[in-house]
Structure formats: structure tokens, C-alpha cells
Amino acid sequence: MRVIDHFISGRAGLPAARFGDVFDPNSGAVQARVELGDAAVLDGAVQAALKAQPGWAATNPQRRARVMFNFKALVEARIDELAHLLSSEHGKVIADSKGDIQRGLEVIEFCCGIPHVLKGEYTQGAGPGIDVYSMRQPIGIGAGITPFNFPGMIPLWMCGPAIATGNAFIIKPSERDPSLPNVLAELFLEAGLPAGICQVVHGDKEMVDAILDHPAIGAVSFVGSSEIAHYVYRRGVAAGKRVQAMGGAKNHGIVMPDADLDQVVHDLSGAAFGSAGERCMALPVVVPVGEKTAIALREKLIPAMAALRVGVSTDADAHYGPVVTAAHKARIESWIQTGVDEGAELVVDGRGFTLQGHEAGFFIGPTLFDHVTTEMEAYKEEIFGPVLQMVRAPDFETALRLPSEHQYGNGVAIFTRNGHAAREFAARVNVGMVGINVPIPVPVAYHSFGGWKRSAFGDTNQHGMEGVKFWTKVKTVTQRWPDGGANDLAGDGANSFVIPTMG
């Protein structure tokens, strides 16, 4: 059986004492075993990073950008192969896996312009004969703890800006689908990145804690559930690290009475059920404004859901594939039952779905609840599956309050033809990312990604200039060059003991 090893300093890691199973979600069978590392494995990666990072930091930004260009070309040349590898462990359909990788490459494209964004600031003549300038320098060693749902995109979102700004980087991918990050690290080497700058260590909580505790790791980026994000943030900050920790979500889609319902249903089908709902930017809650809107939307949703094709990852006609593990399937089905027990109307039940020839696969059909209320636990918590909940709102103000008062504040969308309503909603809603007639408002790579409330812990977002700031520290230099001889270096003794001013 295939064994997935660590990737340390450009080579395989040490023999492991513990292993985890990696499943094929389409069949339910174990297809590989991944080594689960410990603090000793991590320290091996850190020592390699400490050796390699100073030289990489001293490499000029233009040469670092060339590595990014080379890496992008290598990934694009193998994207079909990489997408199949991703799908084989995650379960998402091939087209979705290609999108996963492509959205990561868009951040790499941004990193190809790293010489520009690292230029810093300069003020000539800030005082008599005094100039002031700032520079951005790397943190040193960074680490990324990445989730199962985007095994290509999220590692690239993290490692691209970190490496381009001169850091060494250690990826700890999800043990559920760990193979792709190893291949990405190999491609970085092929692109010209020195060994020890991009490494992969595999593991579970033991490895996560080792990363958070290691004194040589200066910054950690995390994406996962809110409970673990909060844990990572608190423990990492307590250890003196810079931490950005992205958590869960319960994104709402507000449907105004003037919205194009055919377009809304089309958008909801992809946003709620695409990738089996295993996205932090999925749209699992729809909020029709007014009973007339709710009735009309429901009438259109039911046949649209019936037309969705659930299939194996390699089925080019499938809209989505299986969920990642049997345990996650059971968790989703448990939330569906919770919704029923709490009194929501189960309009379409996706439990019990099977695919001929793949009866042991981790499949769930699309599910729809109506008459969901804010008091229900199934509404409050993230289900992370192909489950759409309808919460009816009598008016705009009620619809605005729903996402604003929810514990999560990752993303939200409003569907309307009314520019004033859209502008008012975008300005007032208490959520970090807003879509206007855009169901999944993931920002482009040169803007930044990040939610509010329990969807994000830390002060800096992912990628864009926020990512550059997170992986660098600012040094500010105030300089004066005397005109005369050595005596001028002493300065004015009368003023040597007071704070200098620029007046």
C-alpha cells in the first residue's frame, strides 16, 4: 500500500512510528497510509529551514519572483494529473479540483510581482539633512496548518507570499488528503527553490502542537473549524508567534423580491451543493425576503435540486462527488436529524443516497430545509455538507440582522436589482466578505481574504497585501550624513539626551 512520507529538505523524512489511513471517498476503501509525525520530525524540518532561509532571504526579490514564475508553469503543465490526485483523496469532481489548484495559482501570480510590493517607503528631507525609509524583511520560518477541503488552494495561499517574501515555510496538510502538498513542494524544488525552503510534515494534533510550541517558528497560518482556530490562535500567541487563524462559517444569501429567481437558483445550486458543501465560502443559508419570494424560490429550488447529479470524482457530468470520510458523512447526517428534531421542515432528504457500484462510498444527496429559525442549533452551527437551509424574513431589516447577528461572519451575498438596497446592505452588514449578485464572494488574489467574528482570529487576512504584511516585519531607518569631518559625528552635545525632532 502507498505510504505518504514527510518532505523534509528536499527528501523523504525519517521512518514513522504512527500512521493514519487515507481513504478513497468514492469507494470507501483505504488507499494509502500517511505518516503521522511528532516534535522530532518537525525539528528536523526546522533545522533544515534555519540552514536554508538566510541565503533565500538574501536572494534578491526579482530572482525569487522567477522561481514563482517557474513554479506556476510547472503546475499548469501538470494540472490534470494534480487534479486527479486531489480528487482521489478529497472526493470533489475533477473540474472542481482544477479550480482548487487554479485559485491557488492566482496567488502565485500575485507573488510573481513581489519586487514591486516589497519596495517600501521613503521620505527625503524628513528633517535637516535627514532621510527616513522603511523596508520589509522576512519573519524567518513560517508554518501553515491547512484543511482537507482545499488541499491545493490553501497551501498555495499561505506558502506563496511567505516564500516570495524570503521566508522558509513548513506545510502541515490535513491527514485526510495529504498527497498534493508533497507534489507541490517537489515542484518548487524543480522550479529552483533551494531545499529546506518549502517542506511538508504530516501529522495530527501532536504535530499541530509541536508547530505552535517550536520557538524557531515565527508565524503560523491556519484554516479549519472555529474551535480549533481559536485554540491555534491562543496557543500560538502565548508562544510569542504571529498567528492568523481562519475558522468556520455560516454564509447567508439574501434574496430580495426583485431578484432574478432563475439566476438565484442556478447560483444556489453551485454555492450550496458544489464540492458537497465542503467549503467555508459555501452558501448554506438562503433568506428570501417576503412570503411571496419564499414560495416562488422554493418551487424553483426543488426541481433544480432533483436535477443535480451526484457521482464519482471522475464523472465529468457530476455536479459534486462524495464527502471526504465516513465520519464526516455521519456528522452531516446527524445534523440533518438534528434539524428534523428541532422542527424544521425537511423538504428534500439527501440521507440514504447510494451510487450503484459505489455503495460504500461517502455520498450524500442534496438536502433542503424550510422554516428554519435562528433558535435552532442546526442553524447556529456549520454543517459543512450539501445541506441548504431556508430562513424566511419578512423584510429587509430582518434579513440584514440574520447574518449580522450570527456567530460567524465569513461571507454573505445579496441578490437584487436594486442598487440602493445592495449598497445599504454592503455598508451595514456585519460580515467580512460581501457578494452582490455573487454567491461565493472569494476576493481575487490581489485583494485579501478574511472573515469577522468567530470566522477569523488575528488581525491580518490571507493573501494580497495583507498576506505580504503578515509574513514580513517592517524595519524603519532614519539616517543623516554629516557634511564635515569626524567632529561632526559627535553632533550637538546639548541635544544628545532629548528625543530628536524633525522641526
Q: List, by residue number, the catalytic residues.
A: 280
Question: What is each CA distance from 130 to 12, 249, 253, in whole angstroms?
Answer: 52, 50, 54
Of 299, 319, 260, which Cα lies nearest the Cα of 439? 260
CA–CA distance, 223 with 230 (Å, rounded to integer): 11
Of 351, 352, 342, which Cα lies nearest the Cα of 373? 342
Q: What does the angle CA 493 – CA 494 – CA 500 come to, to the nearest 5 degrees?
A: 90
What 3-state class would DSSP assign to 91? Answer: coil
All residues at 6 or more sequence positions from 302 whose CB lies less than 8 Å from its CB, including other chains: 347, 348, 368
All residues at 6 or more sequence positions from 327 whose CB lies less than 8 Å from its CB, including other chains: none
Neighbours of 330 (CB within 10 A): 11
All residues at 6 or more sequence positions from 245 whose CB lies less than 8 Å from its CB, including other chains: 220, 221, 222, 223, 229, 230, 232, 233, 236, 456, 457, 458
CA–CA distance, 455 with 451 (Å, rounded to integer): 5
Longest dimension (CA), the chain: 90
CA–CA distance, 159 with 467 (Å, rounded to integer): 10
Question: What is each CA distance from 256 to 70, 268, 425, 435, in whole angstroms?
Answer: 46, 14, 11, 14
Q: Are 193 and 67 in contact (CB under 8 A)?
A: yes
